[in-house]
Chains A and B, each alone.
Chain A
Amino acid sequence: MSNGNLPVVVVIGNGMVGHRFCEKLRTAGLFHIVVFGEEPRPAYDRVHLSEYFNGRSAADLSLPMTGWFEEEEIVLHLGDPVREIDRQRQVVHSGKGISQHYDHLVLATGSSPFVPDINGIEKQGVFVYRTIDDLDRIKAYASTVRSGAVMGGGLLGLEAAKALLDLGIPNPHVIEFAPRLMPRQIDSAGSHTLEASLRQLGLQLHLNKVTQSIEGSHRVEALQFADESRLPVEMLVISAGIRPRDELARLAGLSVGTRGGILVNEKLQTSDKNIYAIGECALSQGMIYGLVAPGYEMADVVATNLLGANKSFTGWDMSTKLKLIGVDVASFGDPFAAEPDCGTIVFEDRHKGIYKRINVSRDGQYLVGGVLIGDAAAYNLLLQTVNNRLVLPADPAALILGNRESAGEGAGVMNLPDEALICSCESVTKAAICGAVAEKDATTIDAMKKCTRAGTGCGGCIPLVKDLIAGAMKAEGLYVRNIVCEHFEHSRQELFDLVKLHDVRTYNEVLVRWGKGDGCEVCKPVVASILASLWNEPIVKQATIQDSNDRYLANIQKGGSYSVVPRIPGGEITPDKLIVLGKVAKKYNLYTKITGGQRIDLFGAHVGDLPAIWEELIDAGFESGHAYGKALRTVKSCVGSTWCRFGLHDSVSFAIEIEERYRGIRAPHKLKGGVSGCIRECAEAQSKDFGIIATEKGWNLYVCGNGGSRPQHAQLLAVDIDKAACIQYLDRFLMFYIRTADPLTRTATWLDKMDGGISYLKNVVINDSLGMGQQWEEEMQGLVDSYKCEWKEVVDDPELRKRFTHFVNAPRKKDPQLQFDAMRGQTKAKEW
């Protein structure tokens, strides 16, 4: 062997941790590495073992690529366990008779399943769940039986139950002697939520059950419990915990713990300084670590020290997040801390199967730990908040009530300290991620994975890594490219300018010129909106690039029916038109409701009826209300000076004028307006994208207000202006928004992101600081002049009308799945 003079490192055990150790050490080329493995195959991914039952093969689970050991010049003896360690002579003897000298010996012997001493445990049909061979045996046996149980309701036990489900055992049983599932990770309320979800998925759970004996002549036939109850089952999988494999160490006279495990110091050295123990066989400061992440860290510590650097293992955070049979389960910090040491905040939604608990220090300053069931999206940030002792926001409940973004406001990712561990599978810190952005130009998730391995394990940290990449890029002064999607390396604003500059009119041409692939549900509507904002051609010409609502010019509702909303400008409508709406609704059996925007919504239309409905409406003088589009919806008005004794000006007429001016104009998001006749503000104009309020001297113009999930008041743009100025400013404001906002960004959010905020916007709109005023006014006038009612275009064109059908091979047939229930004298869509 060419590397005969190098010091020899012998690794006993080729599991995940043993393999990781080889990976860490090999790159240096300073050692000759020899590995002994008991199993017949090289290291495989035990964490994802249950996937073996739903299609992943042993080869898929394998960690090293074929040929890896040869390439790395690592000698691998498989199916050949070491039987004896001769510490005096520093030699190991294998089962097949190989004697191998070592300078350093690493024990990575792992653990074996704990098998309790129960009567009948030796019977046929009793299995453990640990290796691929175990899985093969379970698989073979499961095909001969109809019922099965798992002993142990911990993490692995539930995985095993999932495996039985996958093998076609209907409703497998889980037997746990504790009063709750996953007793080491979650509290009893969390267990209740998890139990409900798992029962729905077909598991039968038996808690507080002590198994006394396994009955049956040769094969398992039933389990007998201490409470004298009995459960007939044909097979049993034991998953009642692990025992460290320390027998070889004991034989060699190394120190072991009273309850098993090879004693190690901070360098993972055993009582013999040339021998190390890592992973589940090692007993470090009284703890056996049964997870892969701390095992990997131990492998790294030993490899680092052998290579001459200095690193210690001083314990590991056992926080964990996983998906159990499709249910998110996470536990972090101290999940059980309770009064009086700290305050507990609990959120529970039994309907959705969600339970969240956080434990907050008594002074309300710090997060101590918690449990998440059913929705673990907040896990990463909560874990970081615990580990880095970040100060909590004033109302910590927001951490589990809000979404990830709002949790982020309390503890922004860039505020994390450099040493914050972001990816715990691969031990990657915030500093490493930000460093990779700055020095190695790793600005995408894929590049970051290659560069730091962050996110390559469980993948749970990826949202956080993305936020950090964006944050670090900003900090580096790099331009954060706010691209539309994977098909376009451009922002919406860049695409808008390109399409305008090159006078491009179709999606396909945009894709060919500046995109790649076949587009998707993100970029198609973005480009459709840009084309509509620029050229105002009928959107039905390119129907399949429109979002479903724009494709059918109606809002898709439950059951696949559509709603019909004709425009009623300013909310003013004649009695005759009201009668038409009533007649049409009755004829087509539509549910009617007054909307928040002062118009009438007709629900429950079959797609095939839409052209006929609109034909009748258009005949009566209605036109499309664009309720389906990212476009102007309504301009709401109060009744104003024509009737109201307080009204200063005629708000209804002005609202109608403005609604008719901007009707049909496509924008990055929907637009709503309002006009009030006095400061009492009955039209609620200050909650709209633009709002106009009458004053003694003219009108005040407000912009960028928003109702919705995060209400925001509109801000005052101009005071006491006349109608002409009002329209001029609105033209400029709207075109500025249409050109520059990101997709699906309302005006309020657009302004929030604008550097300089409202004063900058005032400068652009009123003082024309960009010199674009005249151009924008002309562009807007072009849109106003080219307006056509989209529904009229369809109604008048037999070819377009044909598209409005559910079955193209049976155009007159309606969707039989679309069903209605009666409600208060009308119909409604059946619940889904």
Chain B
Amino acid sequence: METTTAIKWLAACRVEDVPGDGGACVLLDGEQIAIYYFSRRDEWYATENRCPHKQQMALSRGMTGSAGEKGEPKVACPFHKKTFSLRTGECLSGDDYRVRTYPVKVKNGKVYVGI
């Protein structure tokens, strides 16, 4: 496994465990992490699974999509449809919340999350 000085890469799941244009939750180091796959763009993202609004472990079950002309990747929490940028973790629907984001890489059919 590759390592860099700052990031610890952990094997999270297989590529096929994450549905295309949707999310799935993994348990890594005791943390619940949501992984998202944008199949049309072939891009991977990861955030904490917790929605900061009502502390529900649900972001992986939310609908993904994009916002704006630049196509900011986002996910909508299934509870109250708060949306978050998958790039920055910032809430896009007008609240001050933020979710933690993690780097993702894929190698040999496996998905790795950097913690």
Is B truly associated with A? Answer: yes
The interface of chain A, by Cβ under 8 A from chain B, is 326, 486-487, 508, 517-521, 523-525, 543-545, 547-549, 551-552, 556, 558-560, 803, 806-810, 813, 815, 817-818, 832
Known: A518-B38, A520-B67, A556-B61. A807 touches B26 (CB 8 A): yes
Q: Is the CB of A807 within 8 A of B19?
A: no
Known: A521-B62, A547-B63. A809 touches B22 (CB 8 A): no
Q: State A832–B28 Cα separation when bound (angstroms).
A: 24
Looking at the assembled complex, report how far the CB atom of B13 sits from the nearest CB atom of chain A, in whole angstroms.
5
Show 27 residue pairs from A and B whose CB-CB distance is below 8 angstroms, ordered by the A residue.
A486-B67, A508-B40, A518-B65, A520-B67, A520-B83, A521-B63, A521-B81, A525-B63, A544-B21, A544-B63, A545-B21, A545-B63, A548-B62, A551-B61, A556-B61, A559-B56, A807-B26, A807-B27, A808-B18, A808-B26, A809-B17, A809-B26, A810-B26, A810-B27, A813-B27, A818-B57, A832-B54
Q: Is the CB of A518 within 8 A of B40?
A: yes
Known: A518-B41, A521-B76. A832 touches B65 (CB 8 A): no
Residues of A within 8 A of B62 (CB): 521, 548
Q: Nearest 9 A-B pairs (CB), nearest first?
A: A544-B22, A548-B78, A520-B65, A521-B76, A518-B66, A808-B17, A521-B63, A517-B66, A808-B24
Q: State A549–B81 Cα separation when bound (angstroms).
A: 13
Contact string against A for B residues 56-73, beta-carbon threshold 8 Å, 1 for contact and 0 otherwise? 111001111111100101
Within 8 A of A (CB), among B48-95: 54-58, 61-68, 71, 73-74, 76, 78-79, 81, 83
Q: Is the CB of B76 within 8 A of A520?
A: yes
Q: Is the CB of B25 within 8 A of A808?
A: yes
Q: Is the CB of A518 within 8 A of B61?
A: no
Contact size class for B? 35 or more
Residues of A within 8 A of B76 (CB): 520-521
Q: State A519–B22 Cα separation when bound (angstroms).
A: 12
Q: State A825–B79 Cα separation when bound (angstroms).
A: 27
Known: A815-B57, A832-B54, A832-B55. A544 touches B40 (CB 8 A): no
Looking at the assembled complex, report how far the CB atom of A371 sits from the nearest CB atom of chain B, in whole angstroms.
23
Q: Which of B28, B32, B54, B63 contacts A524 (CB 8 A)?
A: B63
Residues of B within 8 A of A559 (CB): 56
Known: A524-B63, A803-B19, A807-B25. A486 touches B57 (CB 8 A): no
Q: Is B12 close to A, CB under 8 A?
A: yes
Q: Is the CB of A520 within 8 A of B63?
A: yes
Question: Besides the contacts A486-B68, A518-B66, A524-B63, what 5 more A-B pairs have beta carbons closer than 8 Å?
Answer: A519-B65, A519-B66, A521-B81, A809-B13, A832-B56
Known: A560-B56, A808-B17, A817-B32. A544 touches B78 (CB 8 A): no
Residues of B within 8 A of A810 (CB): 26-27
Q: Is B96 close to A, CB under 8 A?
A: yes
Q: Is the CB of A326 within 8 A of B96?
A: yes
Looking at the assembled complex, report how far the CB atom of B32 sits from the nearest CB atom of chain A, in whole angstroms.
7
Looking at the assembled complex, report how far the CB atom of A804 sits from the nearest CB atom of chain B, in whole angstroms.
11
Residues of A within 8 A of B79 (CB): 556
Looking at the assembled complex, report how far the CB atom of B3 sits from the nearest CB atom of chain A, in whole angstroms.
20
Q: State A520–B56 Cα separation when bound (angstroms).
A: 21
Known: A521-B65, A556-B61. A544 touches B20 (CB 8 A): yes
Q: State A675–B71 Cα separation when bound (angstroms).
A: 49
Looking at the assembled complex, report how far the CB atom of A792 sits from the nearest CB atom of chain B, in whole angstroms.
21
Q: Is the CB of B21 within 8 A of A548?
A: no
Q: State A517–B57 Cα separation when bound (angstroms).
A: 27
Within 8 A of A (CB), among B21-43: 21-22, 24-28, 32, 38, 40-41
Closest A residue, CB atoms, query B73: A518
Residues of B within 8 A of A558 (CB): 56
Q: State A328–B13 Cα separation when bound (angstroms).
A: 44
Residues of A within 8 A of B68 (CB): 486
Closest A residue, CB atoms, query B81: A521
Q: State A547–B78 Cα separation when bound (angstroms).
A: 7
Q: State A476–B102 Cα separation when bound (angstroms).
A: 50
Closest B residue, CB atoms, query A806: B25
Residues of A within 8 A of B24 (CB): 808
Residues of A within 8 A of B12 (CB): 809
Closest B residue, CB atoms, query A813: B27
Q: State A803–B24 Cα separation when bound (angstroms).
A: 9
Looking at the assembled complex, report how far the CB atom of B95 sits from the nearest CB atom of chain A, in whole angstroms.
9
Residues of A within 8 A of B61 (CB): 548, 551-552, 556, 560
Q: Which of A487, A508, A521, A543 contacts B19 (CB 8 A)?
A: A543
Known: A524-B63, A543-B19. A817 touches B57 (CB 8 A): yes
